[in-house]
Every structure is written in C-alpha cells, then in structure tokens.
Structure 1
Amino acid sequence: MIDLRLLREDPDRVRASQRARGEDVALVDALLSADERRRSSGVRFDELRSEQKALGKLIPKATGDEKAELLGKASRLAADVKAADAEQNEAEEETKRLLLQLGNLVHPDVPVGGEEDFVVLETHGTIRDFGAEGFEPKDHLELGEALGAIDVERGAKVSGSRFYYLTGIGALLELALVNAAMARAAEAGFTPMLTPALVRPRAMEGTGFLGQAAENVYHLEKDDFYLVGTSEVPLAAYHMDEIIDADRLPLRYAGFSPCFRREAGTYGKDTRGIFRVHQFDKVEMFSYVDPEDAENEHKRLLEWEKDWLNALELPFQVIDVATGDLGASASRKYDCEAWIPTQGKYRELTSTSNCDGFQARRLSIRMRDGKKVQPLATLNGTLCAVPRTIVAILENHQLADGSVRVPEILRPYLGGRELLEPVAK
C-alpha cells in the first residue's frame, strides 16, 4: 500500500498514477474522505475518553444531587464513547479497505498506455533464418512429442485443458534448467529456497494478488488457503511482521516452487502446447533492500535475467512495460521477451518488478537504521519459468532432422548430452 501521508500531501500525484494505470481516479477522493473521517473520529474518541476519565475522578468525591447528576452524565458519556469508538473503527476499516484497492505509484519514467504501449529498450542475439538453412521450423509441441518430452493429450485426459506431462528428456530438461538457474542464483549471492505452495490470505493480499489479479488465483475455500501463482508470495511474506537491521540488507532469496494460475480471460489464447498453462514450476529471485537502493537493485535483477537468457543462447528483447500493464504492486516492470520462431514474435519469458515499499507496508516489514524504523523496499524477478523456457529452447535450437541442440550451460546437468534426439515410436 502507499503511504497515507504522501496521499494527503500530494493527492494529484496519486490521481495521476491511477489515471496512468487506467484505474478509478475517484478512489483517491474516497480514500481522502475516509482518512479524514478516520482521523477526526479518532480525535473525537480521544476527547470523549479524556472527559470520561476526568468525570470518573469526580464522582467518588461528590454527594447527593451532584453525584446523581454526575452519574447521569457519566451514563450519557459512556454511550457517546461507545458510539465514537464504533465510528472510529468503522472509519479505520473503510480507510484500510480503500487503501488496499489502490495500486502502487507508477515510476515517472514508465511509458503510459496499455499492453501494446511498451518501449523496447534493447535486443540481444540473432534471429535464425530457417529458410536460409533449408527447412521450416516446427513448433515446440511437435518437437516435444517427437522427442518424447511433452504429452498434452494425457495431461488433458487426467486434469483438463492447459495441463501437461513432461516425460523422459522433457522431465530431465526441466531439472537441468532448475538446477542451472539455482546454481547461477546462488553464485550471485541469493539464498536458495524451497517455498510453500499454499499460503494464508494475508500473504496473498499483502503481495497485491487479491486485487486486480484475484481472478487468476486458486482459492481453497474449505481451508482458506491460496495456491501461489509465483514464489514471490511466500518469499515476500517470509519476513512478515519483522524489523530487519539495515546492515543486513540486501537480503536476496531464490525460490523454487510450483505455480498455479487460473488464466481467466485467456480462453482461446495460447491453447496449443505448454506456453500458457495452469500449473508450472519457476525459479524466482526476490530482494529486500534499502528504499534508496531499490532502482539500482531493479537494474541488477534485470542484468541477472539477461545473463541467464544469453547463457541459454536465446534471442530476446527487453521492454519497459507500460502503466496499464503493470501489476498492482509494481511501480516499474521490465520484461525479457524471447523470440518464438513459429509465432514470428517475441513473447514474455521473464519479468522483474520494483515494488518499492508497497508490499512491505502491507506485510509490516520494516528496516531499522539507527533509531529510524521505516518500510524497506521489495523487488522480484523471474529467473526461469520452466515451460516457456522449454518452448523457447526447443524452437530456437531445433535442427532440420527434428533434434534439438542443447545450450552449453545445460550440458553438465544433462550428463554432457549435446543433442536431444527424436525417439522411436
């Protein structure tokens, strides 16, 4: 959540941020009104409680009619205190409810617009000319089935559409990707983590996934647990309700977890293969830093992602995501999009977001620098979303005979194998 003091001091900035996101600007005025009512009702309650305490000291000393009058006044005052307390609590809850609906303030340099209004910052690698090589590229599903690596038919039979099996070399390729990604993260100073896939409501709400993203979250109503769509959620909540000494920062974690997404609103989109699925595994980077270092940390996370994709020998571009396509918690987000030959376009493979103090305030995570205690900043960055990475590897490194060249970084994790070869049926 944003700082209420900032809202009071510069509401126009918050309105501009809401407008840029394509969100309801009227929410800002409703929140200002609720906050004013919260503060005034708090003052009213304190005044009545003070009067009640003072009256309580007079009653034992009074006698006769004076005491009867004071007792009557005390009774009326008690009712007023109770009403003021109820009003204060109601205003507090209303302020909190509205505050949780408000997205993070967007960074002033973020391009304004919707999903297609991103800005390309840089490109890496060379897009292959398959025509010059004398063959038409196959898509990842055709390749994966020939390699004995992907089985979507049985995935659909067992679990429904957008589920799949990784089999044989497909399963080994996932393990190679995860181990290589974790090794690189550890080398960069991240603490490897295996995180819970089920979290309580506060963890999900605290990271900002129960607002605009709620439709894509799986909820187990009987137990009131949520299935995470990314290990960002348990990694962000790891230090919930804690105060961290500034000299311990930055804290960096690399979480591996299964991820679950309903993919609501995407029916008919990316239905072939394993590009957009309901369950997948992912390695996620997460940083807790001093707010003053947040922008630099964001650049570091992006560099680690770029290094990883270059090591996989994939052509990709880096984009500055537009305001209307930011998640609620992000002030700025960079995506790395890999070239997918059979689609003839770049598709998102990794992303990294700077959330500033937005998640930290919601989760009550603070830093102590001397006597000063304040919210710290949190950032996240995908290192390896496994299915999409497999899609990019199979399509970009395929050969004319249907085999797939293994990037050098993965060979030690695949027993030195240099090629993935079709299997006899």
Structure 2
Amino acid sequence: MIDLRALREHGPEPLRASQRARGEDEGVADQLLDLDARRRSALTRFETLRAEQKSVGKAVSKASPEERDDLLTQAKTLAADVKEAEAEAERLAGELDEVLTGIPNIVEEGTPAGGVDDFRVFEKVGAPRELDFTPRDHLELGEILGAIDTERGTKVSGARFYFLTGVGAMLELGLLNMAMQQAIASGFTPMIPPVLVKPETMEGTGYLGAHSDEVYHLPADDLYLVGTSEVPLAGYHADEILSADALPHRYIGWSSCFRREAGSYGKDTRGIIRVHQFNKVEMFVFCHPDQAHDEHLRLLAWEREMLEKLELPYRVVDIAAGDLGSSAARKYDCEAWLPTQGRYREVTSTSNCTDFQSRRLNVRYRAEDGKPRFAATLNGTLATTRWIVAILENHQRADGSVVVPEALRPFVGRDILEPVNG
C-alpha cells in the first residue's frame, strides 16, 4: 500500500509518473487525493458534531425544566446527524481503502518504462560453451540419467507435475542445501515456514490482486498455498514493532511452492521449466527504508555468487515497470543460458518492495525519535528447482553424462552424473 501522507505532502506527480511507467491509469492519483480530502472533511464534521452532542448532553443534566425540552430536541437531532456523519466517514474510508489496495507500488527512479519486452540488460557474465555435439535438452538428459520422470508425474497428479528421482532428487537437495549454507554464512537466519497462509497474509504481500488466478485457494479452510516463502516470511513480523538497532532482519526460507500457471497454456509444457509445484530457497529482508536500495543490490550480489559457483553463463536484467508485480518498486532478474533454446531464461528474481508490504501487514520499527515507522521489505531467489534445467544443459557431455559443478559436488556427493538409461 502506498503512503497516503506522502501523496498529500509531495503531490500526485510521483504516483502519476509511476502509473505511466507501468502502463496503468494515472488518474488514480487525483482520485485518491479527492477521496482523501472528502474522507478527512467527513471525519472532521463527525468529530465536531460528536463534540457538540457531548456538550449538549452535559447541558441537559444541568438545565432547568423549561430549557430541558429544547435541549432534548437538539440532542435528538444531533444524534441523528452524528450517526449520518459517522456513516459517511466510514463509507468514504472504505472507498479510499479499496482504491488504495488496488494501486501498485511506486516504481523506483531509473526503472525502465514499458512492458514485458522492455527490460534493460545490465551485464552478461560467462560465455556459453561451444559444443561440438548436438545438445540434449534437460528432459532428455533427466530421463537418461534417471533424474526426471514427467510421465509418472502426469499419471499421478496431472500436467505440469513430475518426480525427481535418484540423482535428480540428490541434485535438488544439494543445490538447495548449498544455497542455505551460503545464506547462513552471510548472516541469514534459516527458516522453514508454513506453506498455507491466511487471506490477510496473502493479500498483505500483494498476491491477491491482478495475479490472484495464479494462487491455489482451499475454500473449505479459507487458506492459500504459497507460490514463494516470501509470503509467510513477510507475515512473520505482522503487527509487530521491531527494534531499529536489530535491523536488517535477514531470513532464508526453504519451502515447497505452488502456482496454478493460469494463462500459460501451451507454454513450456516440456520438462520442469514451468510447473505447478517446486522447491525454492528464498531470501527475505526487513530493513530501514533508507537501507533498501543498497540491500537490494546485496541480494542481487548473493544471487550472482550462487550462479557463478555453479559455472552458469547468465545475464542480469532490470525489469520494466509494466512487468513488475504490484508490490515491487524495482526488480532485477538473473537469466541463465539454455543451450537447447539458444536464449537466456529466468532463474532468479530479487525485488525491493520498499514499505508497500509492511504498510499492509503493519510491520514497523521504532525510529530514533521514538515514533514507529514502516519497515522496508525485500526478497530474492537463491536457488530453485528450475536451476536444475540450466545445470544439466550447460554441463552435459556428448555421452549424456553431466559434470557436477565443483562447488556443488560436496552437496551432491559425486563429480559426474552418469546415464542409467539407454
């Protein structure tokens, strides 16, 4: 949720500019200011009438008999006016909250304008291997290695499900453990969060807006399956006031994640690139708002460190405003090279959500002046099931075997993944 006080103090142009960059309606800025002014006016009228009502009420008890009837009539009229004024203030507050809830975060200065194809490439790291053989894609390699079984995944659960078997399971466990150890060494607190959350937690992180059709909902329990541990970690300190001296709070969460992949019919149906269930290690940070920009770059650096340990060619992209989620003010993706597709595909994402989520979830810290202020929140992927795709394809050999990156070997327990099927 954006800062309404900042909108009043600094005017509507920052929100207008953000909405233009996202390709959204910039008129909501003026709509918000109008609603806010009307709500505050209605609230002032209600409080004035209520004070007058209390004053008349006190006067009734002290009035002479000949004055009492007039005062009682006045009190009755005031009671009706107070009730009407309170209802009007509540109605406008509800309308204001509804509009506020639908407005995405104000994008950070420097974010590229435009949509999904308007990202800016920051840097390319590592050159794709020159292969002297026709590379196999990750699914073919996974089947040869006895690592991936999509046929039985579909049989058991339906399309976009899979089994990781044998070295496939070992590879994922090793990868995620490696990510956890890196984060812990960098001062993160390890967390295994719940993957079912209440509506207020899911809504508080901004996932029940434009992309709510991506989320699995269990109506009987009114709980949601999370698509990232960002959601429960964001809610961890809901309705709390944190010590400013303890900031930043850095958490590293390991969880299963669930996404409906609504609207992706026909896209990436082969293999495990776009699936309904996967595992992920996610960084999540609560920090002082003034620290958020630098903290965002630190999260990106930790993601890059993981990719370089895995010897994967990748590029860093600055996501355009129209392709940001509602909570993000800025987002950087790392995309790994896939030889069989001849292009880069997203494997990590890190977002600076400023104080957008903490306003919804009421996560604050005690500032130097003793007053509570809203914290900034940030998140970033440190490893996920999709990375297996890039590892297999980039480190394959002509005979179908796959070299395990040196840094990953202690976590997987072998140097080479050998074919077990013809």
The equivalent position to 1:196 in structure 2, one of 194, 197, 210, is: 194
- Provide the rounded CA distance (Å) in 1 between the counterparts of 2:214 and 2:47: 43
The Cα shift of 1:351 comes to 0.8
Which residue does 2:420 correspond to in 1?
423
**Aligned twin of 1:85:** 86
Structure-1 separation of matches of 2:363 and 2:328: 17
Structure 2: runs of 5+ lacking an equivalent = none
Kept in 1: contact 2:143–2:421 (CA 8 A)? no
> Match for residue 390 of structure 1?
388
The residue that corresponds to 1:305 in the other structure is: 303
Matches within 5 A, 1:353-368: 353-368=351-366
How far off its partner does 1:33 sit? 2.0
What is the alpha-carbon distance in structure 2 between the residues aligned to residue 136 and residue 10 of structure 1?
Answer: 59
- The CA deviation string for residues 97-138 of structure 1, in whole angstroms up to 9 with x for no partner, is 1111111111110111111111111111120111xx2x1000
In the aligned structure 1, how far is the partner of 2:288 from the partner of 2:7? Answer: 22
1:380 aligns with 2:369: no
> Partners in 1 of 2:319 and 2:168 — Cα distance?
31
Match of 2:207 in 1: 209
Shift of 1:222: 1.5
Q: Which digits, 9 at most, give the CA deviation of each residue in 1:155-177, with x for residues without a partner?
A: 11111111111111111111111
Displacement of 1:355: 0.8
What is the CA-CA distance between 1:308 and the residue it aligns to?
Answer: 0.2
State the Cα RMSD in Å: 1.0
Give, in angstroms, the shift of residue 88 of structure 1: 1.1
Match of 2:77 in 1: 76
CA distance in 1, matches of 2:408, 2:390: 14
1:246 to 225, 244, 268: 244
Contact 2:176 2:384 in 1 (8 A): no
Shift of 1:65: 3.5
TM-score by length of structure 1 reads: 0.97
Contact 2:160 2:275 in 1 (8 A): yes
Whole-angstrom distance in 2 between the partners of 1:177 and 1:326: 27
- Whichever residue aligns with residue 126 of structure 1, its letter is A
Partners of 1:44 and 1:115 in 2: CA distance:
47
> How far does the alpha carbon of each residue in 1:325-360 deviate from its partner, in whole angstroms, 9 at most, with x for none?
111111111000000111110000001111111111
- In 1: Cα distance, 2:65 partner to 2:55 partner: 19
Count of residue correspondences: 420
The residue that corresponds to 2:230 in the other structure is 232
* Structure 2 residue matching 1:327: 3-state secondary structure: coil
Equivalent AA in structure 1 for residue 376 of structure 2:
A
Task: Specify the alignment match of 1:169 in structure 2.
Answer: 167
Q: In the TM superposition, what are the counterparts of 1:405-424 in structure 2 within 5 Å?
A: 405-415=403-413, 417-424=414-421
Amino acid paired to 2:417 = L
> What's the offset of the Cα at 1:29?
2.4
Q: Percent identity?
A: 61
Name the amino acid aligned to 1:339: W
Q: Please state whether the residue corresponding to 2:337 is helix, strand or coil.
A: strand
Q: Deviations over 1:335-394 (max 9, x none)?
A: 0000011111000000111111111111111111231321111110000122x1000001
> Match of 1:7?
7
Match of 1:187 in 2: 185
Measure how far apart 1:30 and its partner are.
2.3
TM-score with structure 2 length normalisation?
0.98
Gaps of 5+ in 1: none
Distance 2:247 2:141 in 1: 45
Question: In structure 2, how many angstroms separate the alpha carbons of the residues matched to 1:353 and 1:424?
Answer: 41
Give CA-to-partner distance per residue, 1:39-84, whole Å, 9 cap, x none: 1111011001100010011101123342111111111111111111
The 5-angstrom pairing of residues 6-405 of structure 1 reads: 6-8=6-8, 9-130=10-131, 133=132, 135-370=133-368, 371-386=370-385, 388-405=386-403
What is the distance in 1 between the residues matched to 2:208 and 2:27? 20
